[in-house]
Each structure stands twice: as C-alpha cells, then as structure tokens.
Structure 1
Amino acid sequence: MPLVLYGHPFSSYTQKVLIALHENAIPFEFRCLEPDQPEHMADWMKRWPLRKFPLLLDGGREVVETSIIIEYLQLAHPGPVRLLPADPMAALDVRFLDRFFDLHVMTPMQHAVGGALTGDDVKCKEARAHAEEKLQLAYEWLEAKLLPGRPAWAAGPDFTLADCAAAPSLFYADWTHRIPETMPLLRAYRARLLARPSVAKAVDGGRPYRHYFPLGAPDRD
C-alpha cells in the first residue's frame, strides 16, 4: 500500500513534506483537502481532529507534524538523500535550523496572512506590521549566518530537513515582507532553493491556488 499524504498543495507546511518526498522520489498518493473533495476532508478530520495538515498515512500508522513526518520518512522509507545527518551533533544543528525557519520565518508570515483573512483593516495592518518586524529580525540573523564561502545549503554542503523548512518559509515570507537587496546572501539562498527540482515541483503544484494568498501573490516567482 503506497503512502498517503493529506494536505493542500498551496500550504507551506504541506510543501515542506512534499519536498522531502520528491527529494527521494518516494511513491505516495496525494489527497487534496479541498471543499470539493469532501471524502478526503472527512477522513482527514476523523484521523486528526486537531485539523492541522499535512498528515501522512503509512498503512495503519498516522504521522503528523512536518518535522516528525520527514524524520519518519528517513527511518521507514530511506532514500539516497539523507535529510538528517548520521552524526548526532550535526543532526542537532539541522533540527535547530528547521525550528528556526518554522518558528521565526513561517510563523510571522502566517500571522500576517491570518490578520488579512479577518477582513478587518486595523487587524490586517497590525498583523502585517508585526510580521514585518519579526521577519526583518530573522532575515538579519540569516544573512549573518550565511557568510560568504559557506556551503550552498542551510546547515552545510548537503540539502537537509533545514532546507525543506526554509524553502516554503522564505518563499511565502518574501511575498509578505520582501528580503531587502542589502541581504544578497539570503536572496541568493532563496533563489537556490526555488531552483532545486524538488522545491520547484512543490511550488508548481500550488500555482493554481495563488489567488488564495490574501496579501497578493506577486508574479516574480
């Protein structure tokens, strides 16, 4: 029985897991959580009443939370691309960066989106301002970390879990608060991520849904 992934192709967290699946060409069935597919919605809500996606189904095992799903894939369905290093200390660095992108880039972006979805102009402006402040701090930290001469990816020369988190985080964050031109290293890293085949495939899958982005999806990506 193939793996089953419940999620939405425009969802940043769904894309994070899709990138990991594409990296190792792991076969899976995608069940899109859209109102016009109520059978998928009903099954997903029954399996995970907290109603957060994505959710991975592997036979009788249900796995949730993106970082856990990706670690599970490495354990249960390993491929040529190892997304968590074997060395425990190196793996700790990767996990830290994974959390950094989820908590300090993805979360502020989603806060701005949530404010826009309220339809209240005051709440929208407040959420956008809060997100821009937090994202600017995160960008500055990342620009300082991505020093000239460092390897291409977040945690070293290899593409890892940290990059799976970084790709959708920076993709949508740049739509919310554009990475300044004064941060060429971070802008170049985002471009490398979007050029990675696994990332490009995930991004392309979400293109038909760009009208969902309440802050306005730019044409540049």
Structure 2
Amino acid sequence: MLILHGHPLSTFHMKAAMALYETGAPFEQVLLDLGDEGARNRFYAFWPLGKFPVLRDEARGETVPETAIILDYLSSFYPGETVLIPRDPDLAWKVRLAERIYDLHVQTSMQKIIDNRLRPAEAKDPFGLEQARGHLRRTLDFLEAGQGSRAWAVGEAFTGADCAAAPALYYADKVLPFEASHPALWAYFQRLKARPSFARVLQDAAPYLHMFPAES
C-alpha cells in the first residue's frame, strides 16, 4: 500500500498526488494537521524532518520524501502508462530541469507572495513582495518563450514535469494572473486543467480552497 502524507491544498502534495493518479497505482491520502500534537508526533516518528508530502511504501518498507524523489521512485517502482521520467537520458534531464524550474522558481516566488498575505499589517514586506512578483513574472516570461506550440512541458508527451507545472501554474494565476500576458503558457495551462489526474487533484483540494488567503 502506498500512503501519501500531506495536505491536498499544498502545491507539492498536488504534484505528488497527480503523479500517483497518472501511474494508476492504488494509494491512500493521509491528511496531516501539524497543529495537532498527536498527528505531528506520529508524522515525525517516520519522517523527523517534518516536511510534507512524504510517500510511505508499506510493501517495500520505504519512506520517500521530496516530490522530485517521489516522482523518480514512482517511475522506477510503480511505472504506469504515463512515463513520468523518460528512459531517454536526453529527455530525462530536460524533464527534471522543467520540473525544477516550476518547483524552485514558479512555486517559490508564488509562495513568498502568499506568505506576505498571511503576515499582519505591521509585518508586511513590500520590498520582498515586489522582488517575488518580479521573479515570478520573469519566470513566466521564460516559460512562455519556451512553450511555443508544444503540447506539454517537454515536447509532445506528458511527463513528471507536467505534474510539477499544473499546481504551480494554478496558484501562480491566483497571485499574478497571466491569461492576457502569456498566451502559449495559458493554453498549456488549459490542457493541464483538462487532464483527468489534475481534475482529481483539484477535486481533492476543493473542500480546502476557501483557506487560500485573499490579497489584503
């Protein structure tokens, strides 16, 4: 049994869940409430660093953290019809690069914007906010230029890079709407939203979407 520990509202949880849905491997999702001492202690018992999501593979006795590693793990041990990491080494590094750009540049900048919304008025960081917006805008420009007419993040086949892109773009659009400014990226985002695996991820997140902080 595969168990994904995390929270459906988390972009990185969405990424891992989308990859799992793409493989077709049966899995269970365990909602983590780290504010609950008992739940926190149980989670820390098998993953002391306390960062989620974490995939637990009971059949193999493995605890797999970090979404990039989770995708590699699924590709190796639970391959499905969707090839998350191509065997062609020239495609594989490009998939991993695209995945990291969405993780480290889109998601990180987007998260800084969201974190600023959560701060009390006296602790807002206007300078940091503009830095994050600027970096997110540059990253979207970079992705727009590279997307062109490609169907997916890396060519014409859906891969693990698209599992990273879907939640990153979903939340990026909430903090820096890009429909009018980035047409190729927006068209790609629509294809991602039409993907059954992402539709399921959004369905999982639906009960919690009201928790997303509005701009203040």
Match of 1:130 in 2: 131
Q: Sequence identity, in percent?
A: 41
- Summarize deviations over 1:69-106 as a string: whole Å, max 9, x none: 01101111111111111100110000000000001100
Give the drift of 1:191.
Answer: 1.1
Give the drift of 1:178.
Answer: 0.9
Match of 2:157 in 1: 158
Partners of 1:112 and 1:130 within 8 A in 2: no
Match of 2:99 in 1: 98
Match of 2:6, as an amino acid? G
Task: Rate the CA distance shift 1:79–1:40 in 2: closer, same or farther, 3 A.
Answer: farther
**Mapped pair 1:142 → 2:143:** yes
Match of 1:170 in 2: 169
Q: Distance in 2 between matches of 1:47 and 1:162?
A: 28
**Mapped pair 1:43 → 2:42:** yes
Unaligned runs of 5+ in 1: 217-221
Give the drift of 1:200.
Answer: 1.0
Greater shift, 100-109 or 39-48, is seen at 39-48
Match of 2:178 in 1: 179
Unaligned runs of 5+ in 2: none
- TM-score when normalising by structure 1: 0.90
Match of 2:69 in 1: 68
The SS at the match of 2:63 is strand
Task: Rate the CA distance shift 1:206–1:169 in 2: closer, same or farther, 3 A.
Answer: same
Q: Distance in 2 between matches of 1:181 and 1:8?
A: 31
Task: Rate the CA distance shift 1:180–1:29 in 2: closer, same or farther, 3 A.
Answer: closer
- Summarize deviations over 1:154-178 as a string: whole Å, max 9, x none: 1011111110100010000110111
- TM-score when normalising by structure 2: 0.92
Q: Distance in 1 between matches of 2:74 and 2:41?
A: 25
Match of 1:107, as an amino acid? T
Give the drift of 1:121.
Answer: 5.2
- Summarize deviations over 1:119-176 as a string: whole Å, max 9, x none: 23552544432221111101111111112xx331010111111101000100001101
Partners of 1:19 and 1:202 within 8 A in 2: yes
Task: Rate the CA distance shift 1:29–1:182 in 2: closer, same or farther, 3 A.
Answer: closer
Partners of 1:31 and 1:40 within 8 A in 2: no
Partners of 1:5 and 1:30 within 8 A in 2: yes
Match of 1:132, as an amino acid? R
Match of 2:118, as an amino acid? L
Give the drift of 1:214.
Answer: 1.5
Match of 1:165, as an amino acid? A
Q: Distance in 2 between matches of 1:121 and 1:170?
A: 30
Q: Distance in 2 between matches of 1:22 and 1:69?
A: 13
Q: RMSD over aligned Cα, in angstroms? A: 1.7
Give the drift of 1:42.
Answer: 2.7
Q: Distance in 1 between matches of 2:98 and 2:171?
A: 17
Q: Distance in 2 between matches of 1:122 and 1:178?
A: 25
